[in-house]
Structure formats: C-alpha cells, structure tokens
Chain A
Amino acid sequence: MRELLAVDNVTAGYGAAVVLEDVTLSLAEGDSLALLGRNGVGKTTLLVTLMGLTRLHRGSLQFAGANLAALSTYARARAGIGWVPQERYMWPSLTIEEHLTSVARPGRWTLAKIYEIFPRLEERRGNFGNQLSGGEQQMLAIARALVVNPRLLLLDEPMEGLAPIIVQDLMKVIRGLVAEGGMAMVIVEQHAKLALSLTRNAIVLDRGRIVHRSPSEALLEDPQTLHRLVAVA
C-alpha cells in the first residue's frame, strides 16, 4: 500500500507549550490506526496538529507526498483530511441536511450514501443541530466529515458519552468504513478495546511521546501490556 501520511519527529503544542515530542508515524492509503493513551497524553493534540491547529515546533508532516505543514487548515481539509472533532461542533440554526450540504464536495460520499449508512439522519434530516441527541450529533459529525470526501479520516473520541446501543451502531459503521478501505483512518478513543477491534495498527502515547506501537490485534491479545499502557482491564 502507498504511504499516505508521514509524521516525522514532530514536536508540537499550543504556543510555546510543547505537548508532543519527537512523534514519528506513518499511515498507508486505506490503513487504520488506533491512537491510545491515558487522558492528557497528547492524542487530540496529534490530531489537531495534523489539521494545523497547533504550533509545529519541529519535524515534518507529509500527506500524499505534499508538505502538510505548508498548508492552511482549510487547505488540509481540501487536500483530503476529514476531521471529526471531540466537541462535534453542531450548528444550532442548521438542519442535518444543511450541515451536510454546507461543506459537501463532489465524490462518492453523496447525501444518498450518507443516509444509507445513517438512516437515522435521513429520518431527522429537517431537525436542527440543537435538537439532536448525543448519538445523532456524533453520526452527523462523522457524516459531515465524510461528505468532504476525505482520503484520511480523523476520529476524536467518537464513542464518548454515548449509550451502549448507539456505540454498537457506530462501531458497525466505522468497521464498515475500515473494511471498505477507501480511506485511511486514525481513531482516538478512551475505550482502547473498541479502538483496537476496529483498526489494523495501534500506537500508544504517554506524555507526548510514542511508547508502544504494534498491530492492534497483538495488543488486544496482550491484556497485561494493554493494562500497563492505558490502564484498561
């Protein structure tokens, strides 16, 4: 598989404060990566660094052969990086359908295809952003990233605060997206086992540095290491 994303010795943070140190990773087209670690170790910072929302102190970022660091945040989205933020960022005065049409770009992820994988969104297409449950908001946040037709999807805590039945639904959708292989995916998730069951490879961060990397399956089958790294039984 061709390399899509290359993060090389990246040190980044917010202003002068450094959060990530010497982070190196790569991701191939259609590949999937779980980004794990305890709270505050820099998982979200790594995603927002890819989106250009932090200060890059050192290192290089390459996306599809282009220098990502030279691109503005919008240019990164346009180049093919879809971002599902932890906060979801719903717009209260836009309906579900308006959320999607406002940022949609031509590609295989049309509204029809979105509604195929998220029938709940089609049912509530006329509802405003502030009239949605947490699960619906998360579906919409994912759908809004998909209609930009990304080559790399960044999912930040997609299961956070959701009811188990909604988590199951979302897992099914994300598993389907990973299986399709049409785009690469990075999943940041507190529920390590969920993230590992969805992805091919895993990276564990601690205090801004990568402390472990392995195939997801291997980490899932090694509960002792997993517990030691992310304190999960």
Chain B
Amino acid sequence: MATPSLPIASRLAANAARLPSDRLRPLEVAFWLAWVAAFFLFPSYRLLGSQILITGLFAVSLDLILGYAGIVSLGHAAFFGVGAYTAGLLAVHGWHEPISGLFAAAIVAAIVGYLVSFLVVRGGDLTRLMVTLGIGLMLWEAANKAAFITGGVDGLSGVTIAPIFGLWTFDLAGRTAFVYALVVVFVVFMVMRRLVHSPFGLSLRGIQQGGRRMPAIGAPVARRLRAIFTVAAAVAGTAGALLAQTTQFVGIDSLGFQRSADLLIMLVLGGTGRLYGGLVGAIVFMLAQDYLSGIDPVYWQFWIGFLLVVVVLFAHGGILGGLQALRTRFLRR
C-alpha cells in the first residue's frame, strides 16, 4: 500500500472540516441577548445577575466532569475556593489588575485539580464522591487554620480590584461587575462549548457510556478524565476569582460543602450533559432562593427541595431535558 501523499496538516484539516457543526443556534443567541437586555431592564438586579452568572459558570464546570465524563463530585467548591483565594490574596498583596488575577486563579485551580485528578480518576463512583468530599473538607480546614493568610472564618477582606483595563471601576450598583461577569462567562462558556463538541469532548461521552472498553477502541480513558477534571477545576477557579473580584471579599464558605451540594442541585435542576443546564439551573435556583427567602427566610429550602424532587421524578434530564421532551412531543403531533 502506498504511503498517503497528503501531508498530516492537510489530512487533519480535512478531518476537522467534517467535525459536527457547533454553530450557535437562534435560541442560544436569544439566551445571551437576554442577559444584555437584563442589564438595561433590571438595573436594581445587576448584583444578583452577576452572582447568577458566576454561579452558572461554576455549575458549567461541574457539568464538564459530571455531565460529560460521569465523574461525581461533592467537593467541587474546593477549586472554586482556590480560585477565589488566589485572586483575593493577589489583590490583597498588591496585584490589583483583574484579568491577570483571573488567569492566575485559573492556573492555580488547574494545578490543584490536576493533582487531585490522579486520586479521582482511579476509583468508582463512591470513591470519587468520598475523595472529592474529603479534599473539600481538607481545604476548608486548611483555610480555617491558616487564618493569618485567609482571614479564617471572618473571610478575606481588603480585596481591592483596579478598574478593568484602567477604565471601568467596580461600583456599588454592580454595573461593572455585571458586564465583567457576563463577558468572562460568555467567553469561557464558548470555549467550553467548543471543547465538548470537539473529538476530545465526544470521546468523554463515549467514556461515560462505555469506559471500560474505550482504550481498546482508541481513547486513553484515564488521561482524558484527568484532562477534563483539570479543565473543570480551572473553570471553577475562574468562577471563584470572578466572585472574589466582583464582591471584593472571599468568604471561607467559598470552599464549603454547602456550596458543592447547592451546585449539584443546580446542575441536576437545569440538566446535566448540556452545558446550558448549569446556567439554567443557577438562574432557577438563585431566583427561587431570592424570591422564596423573601417570603420565608427560615424555611425557603423546603421549596427548593420540593422543586428538585419534582424535576428529578418528572423531568428526565432536568428542566432542559423536560423542555426538550415537551418539544419533541409537540412536534410529533
């Protein structure tokens, strides 16, 4: 057989040209435009909006490992907290520039994620749950113990962030915070969207659905799981850094179990394995939290629990899965 005459670059390009389409659909464009509209229509909700966006990005990071690679985690807040403390500590110690702070937080969270990934990838579901839970608890206690660095349970204050590109100062009304969060979340989301549609992302779904035999078919399971875990940690770290920069404070709860548990609820509510599920789950959860805690500040979680049970029992695939099923049923008629 003759050696193929095409150079490798041309062959790769030919293959890439046949990749599944990942062009933005009209509904997605509408979703992002709605955020722009929300900025103008609901000026008094800009702070809440920025927090929803940040939490949504955090939920997307969990979706990368849970929804696409099947890695269950109860300690994902560890990476969120690492990112938040990295950005916060940099700012406290004189590095006030926000964009580089974000990158630094993502890199530190990625390094921690990479190291943890070796422990996570080797086990089954229960092992993964316990390892991630354990890592989260260890980091929380480490931050608590190192109060002279982190501020302990009082949190890290004195976080001063310079104006973005020297032009836009973080204001009390949350104007800059909203736009900054929206731009960062949009850019990171689009990169993740491309990633999950790439051959790498597709192979993760293959691993999730039949991992044991994947190496024999041509995908290195452990290496790919470590890679996506590291990427997810970097994204979670970015979300943590965004929260630290926009609120100019880092609370120890950023590393806490409650944050990891809430995140899992949001993702399951929105729908796993869809990327947008994380964003939708964060919107629903946080708006419900805002509304319900206004009505009943003590027992509002009852209704969140009720919503979770209803969605899990009656909407396979979360809210987005339920909507898709309704659409399919409607189109069949």
Contacts and interface: CB of A to CB of B under 8 A. Distances in A.
Given A74-B218, A102-B219, A103-B218, A91 B18 contact: no
Interface stretch (A8-16, A104-112, A189-197, A219-227): A104-112
Contacts of B1: 30, 180-183
Interface stretch (B45-53, B80-88, B107-115, B202-210): B202-210
Contacts, number: 96
A12 to B, nearest CB: 15
Contact of A103 (B8, B11, B203): B203
A175 interface: no
Q: Which of B8, B206, B221, B223 has most chain A Cβ within 10 Å? A: B206
Nearest to A83: B216
Contacts of B20: 95, 97-98, 101
B19 A101 contact: yes
Q: Which of A48, A105, A110 has most chain B Cβ within 10 Å? A: A110
A40 interface: no
Given A101-B199, A103-B203, A91 B218 contact: no
B199 A89 contact: no
A110 B1 CA distance: 16
A78 interface: yes
B202 A102 contact: yes
Interface in B192-235: 199, 202-203, 205-206, 209-210, 213, 215-221, 223
A102 B221 CA distance: 12
Interface in A92-126: 92-95, 97-99, 101-108, 110-112
B328 interface: no
Nearest to B4: A108
Nearest to A73: B215
A152 to B, nearest CB: 13
Contacts of A51: 216
A221 B59 CA distance: 65
A103 B199 contact: yes
A76 B199 CA distance: 20
Contacts of A48: 216
Chain B contact residues: helix, strand, loop or mixed: helix
Contacts of B209: 91-94
B202 A74 contact: no
A73 B215 CA distance: 6
A105 B220 CA distance: 13
Given A51-B216, A72-B215, A145-B217, A110 B203 contact: no
A53 interface: yes
Given A51-B216, A77-B217, A97 B12 contact: no
Contacts of B213: 53, 85, 89
Nearest to B1: A182
Given A74-B219, A77-B215, A94 B11 contact: no
A30 B4 CA distance: 16
A30 B2 CA distance: 12
A185 interface: no
A107 B4 contact: yes
A112 B210 contact: no
Interface string B3-14: 010001001101
Contact of B18 (A74, A78, A112, A148): A112
Interface of A: 30, 48, 51-53, 72-74, 76-78, 82-83, 85, 89, 91-95, 97-99, 101-108, 110-112, 144-145, 148, 180-183
10 contacts: A77-B217, A83-B216, A94-B206, A101-B15, A101-B19, A103-B218, A107-B4, A108-B4, A110-B11, A180-B1
Q: Which 3 A-B pairs have the closest CB atoms?
A: A182-B1, A102-B202, A74-B215
